[in-house]
Amino acid sequence: MSVLRNIGLLATCRPEGGQGDIHPIPNAAVAWDADTIRWVGPEAELPAEFAGGDTLDAGGRLVVPGLVDCHTHLAFGGWRADEFELRLQGVGYLDIARAGGGIMSTVRATRAATDAELLDRATAALEGMRRLGVTTVECKSGYGLDLETELRLLRVYRTLAATQPSRIVPTFLGAHVVPAEHRADRQAYLRLLLDEMIPTVAAAKLAVCCDVFVEDTAFSVDEARDIFRAGRAAGLAPKLHADQLSAGGGAELAAEVGAWSADHLECSSDAGIAAMAAAGVVAVSLPIATLYLRQQPMPARKFIGAGVPVAVATDFNPGSAPSWDLPLAMMLACHLQRMTPTEALKGATSIAARAVGLQGKAGEVSVGCRADLAVIDSPDVNHWLYHFRPNACVLTVAAGRVAWQAAR
Ligand code: NIG
Ligand code: FE
């Protein structure tokens, strides 16, 4: 039995209520047994049976659920700092891709990387995330784009899930773009996706979700529909990169196929937003990518006003979002998307958990959930995201164990 005491403010982030309802408890304590939370409430009411175990002291600080990064491209080879500079000089993201850079540049570097290199880099990223209080991470493939390399990426995630205290949700993104070697015959790549990749990935239980980048330069709505059908038949839940660079009917498709989430959404139509609301699809906002591509922000207020829950994630990848800093994404969600700090927190906890199928299991401090907690050196959520620092997280508990502790 373990207990975290002397919590100045506990943001439980239970899912009920609106986007900004974080269900706080002042002067709280949380008790857990092995990796599961057993008691949550005001410290004055802590039952005697929980008082005697290993004790951690929050020092009167803010405590939040272990954060959930519900959209990352965690494993990849190489970086693309050269493209960062080109874009700053005015060269477009799609122009760089058409010239052979962009996603294909990372595909080449990923194919050339060894399994050990991919694993080492992804392990370091996960550890960096835990220091920031992030304990659950959705991880996409999509920089292999051939069967062998896609499987290698997903096996990296399986190894991480087995060896790291973070919880991993693996997603198959073989439909990221049509790789260069198939450009002359995209039907051949679609057949490879439908007939070989999806069945092989699903049979090996290497992914939970199936993602498609729906965009003029990637996959059409009709192609994506076929991919999701094959994914569903194999037991993979749909998620999509939608309406990032143009309004391409991605939000509408997400509603049609009952996706767990539609992500990016900078260019979604009002009809798409209404369809997502009716279908109960989570909107995942990715403000670091919005910033790096200097786009108009995703209209979070419209989504929230329409009744669509808005998650906040990093989109960590070497092109559009080269940072795994989820608190940074939350701060940017406030500035760019006009979300309040508590709305951003709920978007990076219980709403993000719903976007990866972990509702009631992660992203909230409730009895029965995994004991994932972050102690933040702030009196409240507003102060945390307002006074932005390299790291305000002083202690992370993942699966019931201390996974990071700042030097005193
Ligand atoms: O989520 N939109 C597509 N995929 C990534 C970017 C990939 C890249 O540039 O390497 C994204 O932004
Ligand atoms: Fe992405």
Mutation pick for ligand 1 pocket among 69, 71, 73, 153 (CB with most ligand atoms within 8 Å) = 73
Closest atom of ligand 1 to CA, residue 143: 10
Which residue puts its alpha carbon closest to atom 9 of ligand 1? 319
pLDDT tens per residue, range 161-208: 999 999 999 999 999 999 999 999 999 999 999 999 999 999 999 999
Both tokens of 304, joined, read 């929230």
Q: Do residues 298 and 265 make contact, with C-beta atoms less than 8 angstroms apart?
A: yes
Regarding the beta carbon of 12 and ligand 1, being less than 6 Å apart is answered no
Q: In whole angstroms, what separates CA 86 from the centre of its chain?
A: 27
Ligand 2 centroid vs 326 CA: distance in angstroms? 14
The pLDDT assigned to 345 comes to 99
Q: How far is the CA of 345 from the centre of ligand 2 (A)?
A: 20
Q: How far is CA 404 from CA 175, 330, 360, in A?
A: 35, 21, 24
Which pLDDT score is estimated for 56? Answer: 97
* Secondary structure E strands in 153-287: 167-175, 209-213, 237-242, 261-264, 282-285
Q: Whose CA is nearest to atom 6 of ligand 1?
A: 320
Residue range 98-110, pLDDT digits in tens: 999 999 999 999 9
Coil/strand/helix, residue 286: coil
Query: Rounded CA gap, 138 and 154, in Å?
Result: 12
- The pLDDT mean for the chain works out to 97
Give the whole-number percent of the chain exceeding pLDDT 90.
99
Using N-to-C axis directions, what is the helix angle for 250-257 and 221-233, rounded to 10°?
30
Q: How far is the CA of 207 from the centre of ligand 1 (A)?
A: 19
Residue type, 80: R
Residue type, 300: A
d(CA 341, CA 26): 18
Q: Ligand 1 pocket, 320 CB below 6 A?
A: yes
Starting at the edge strand found earlier in the chain, the sheet holding 282-285 runs 67-69, 134-140, 167-175, 209-213, 237-242, 261-264, 282-285, 310-312
At 246, the pLDDT band (50, 70, 90 cuts) reads very high
Q: What is the mean pLDDT of residues 316-326?
A: 98
Q: Are strands 54-57 and 2-11 parallel, antiparallel or unpaired?
A: parallel
Model pTM?
Answer: 0.98
Given a contact cutoff of 8 angstroms between Cβ atoms, the answer to whether 345 and 337 are in contact is: no
**128-169 residue pLDDT tens:** 999 999 999 999 999 999 999 999 999 999 999 999 999 999
Task: Report how far ligand 2's centroid is from the alpha carbon of 47 (Å).
Answer: 45
pLDDT at 255 over 90: yes
Q: Give SS3 for 201.
A: helix
Query: For 261-307, what is each residue's pLDDT tens digit?
Result: 999 999 999 999 999 999 999 999 999 999 999 999 999 999 999 99
**Closest ligand 1 atom, residue 263 Cα:** 1
Residues in Cβ contact with 332 at an 8 Å cutoff, skipping those fewer than 6 apart = 287, 288, 290, 291
DSSP E strands in 66-148: the ranges are 67-69, 134-140
pLDDT of residue 408: 76
Using alpha carbons, list the distances in angstroms from residue 49 to 43, 45, 269.
Answer: 13, 11, 54
Residue 198's SS3 state is helix
Is the CB–ligand 1 distance for residue 313 below 6 Å? no
Looking at the CA of 103, name the nearest ligand: 1
Rounded CA separation 85/47 (Å): 58
Q: Is 244 in the pocket of ligand 1 (CB under 6 A)?
A: yes
Q: How far apart are CA 123 and CA 166, in angstroms?
A: 10
> Is the separation of the CB atoms in 236 and 209 below 8 Å?
yes
Q: Answer whether 106 contacts ligand 1 (Cβ < 6 A).
A: yes
The number of the ligand nearest the C-alpha atom of 293 reads 1
Q: CB-based contacts of 227: which residues, under 8 Å, 6+ apart?
A: 175, 190, 193, 194, 198, 210, 212, 219
| Residues 13-43: tens digit of each pLDDT | 999 999 999 999 999 999 999 999 999 999 9
Residue 52 pLDDT > 90, yes or no? no
* Atom number of ligand 1 nearest to Cα 93: 9
